[in-house]
Structure 1
Amino acid sequence: MKNEVLYNSNMHFEHEQWKGELAFWKDELVFFNNKLSELVTRWTDKDVLAQLEHYQNEFVLHGAVIEDLQEIIEKHEERIAGQSMTGEDALDMASTKEHLAFREKIETQRHIYAELKKEFFRFLEKYM
């Protein structure tokens, strides 16, 4: 890894982007869960109900991941605020590595969630 200096203002901007994305995902999960509730009233087929339960579990898990990610961002923001008060604008190496690892975590989750949505939309096309 090259020596990358991350400035607080840039990280704060990236955090804001992520927070917006996570909030959007949370809203989508509400919509998806409403679709599941609608389908539960329409279907008695055991296979379809098993798939509904699968998606319900996936959405619960994804919701928990969203909350974890939001919590990590908040903690990181507190540290940035603390550094800003001391007049430091760049994060130390450990914090920089942590931020880059978190960025990777967000990107991974973005991919996992996109796949889940694609799968769910195919399911909806079949059973709605």
Structure 2
Amino acid sequence: MENGIIYNSNLHFEHQRWKGELAFWKDELKFFNNRLSELVTRWTNKDVLAQLEHYQNEFVLHNEVIEEMLEDIEEHETRIAGQSKTGADALDTQMVKKHLEFRNRLETQRHIYSELKKEFFRFLEKYM
């Protein structure tokens, strides 16, 4: 950001970073679901099974959030591309505002996901 101007290339770069992070989360969720599958075959205790279902639901919800965020990034990328075709390199104020809101949303999701992983790892330590 030079002279207070936010360039499309900077936003595109940040989008690429976010997409990579979200793809990593999706891969992690696959791994976590595999761990759940292993535990389902080992345990018959209703409390443990209820916890397994809880984590399964959390992983499904988190995956849905990831998909929604990826769609939002693609929508923003499409708008950037359209604007670039017109020769404009800097975004309008409304698009920058949306980008900053998304950045905050991603920060919140990072925190939520991090806490979920911590809980899940404690659970795995106890029941694996």
Scaled to the shorter chain, the TM-score interval is: over 0.9
C-alpha distance after superposition, 1:55-107 (max 9, x if no partner): 00000000000000000000000000001111101110100100000000000
Question: Which letter does structure 2 place at the counterpart of 1:118?
Answer: K
Partner Cα separation in structure 2 for residue 104 and residue 6 of structure 1: 17
Match of 1:79 in 2: 79
Q: CA deviation at 1:109?
A: 0.2
RMSD of aligned C-alpha atoms?
1.1
Match of 1:11 in 2: 11
Paired residues, what number? 126
Question: Which letter does structure 1 place at the counterpart of 2:22?
Answer: L
Partner Cα separation in structure 1 for residue 63 and residue 119 of structure 2: 17
Calculate the TM-score normalised by the size of structure 2.
0.96
SS class of match (1:36):
helix
Identity %: 77
Match of 1:63 in 2: 63
Match of 2:31 in 1: 31
Partner Cα separation in structure 2 for residue 44 and residue 70 of structure 1: 37
Question: Which letter does structure 2 place at the counterpart of 1:77?
Answer: E
Q: CA deviation at 1:108?
A: 0.4
1:5 touches 1:96 (CA, 8 Å); kept in 2? no
Partner Cα separation in structure 1 for residue 18 and residue 33 of structure 2: 22
Segments of 4+ in structure 1 off by > 2 A?
none
In the alignment, structure 2 segments of 5+ residues that lack a partner are none
Q: CA deviation at 1:6?
A: 1.8
Match of 1:112 in 2: 112
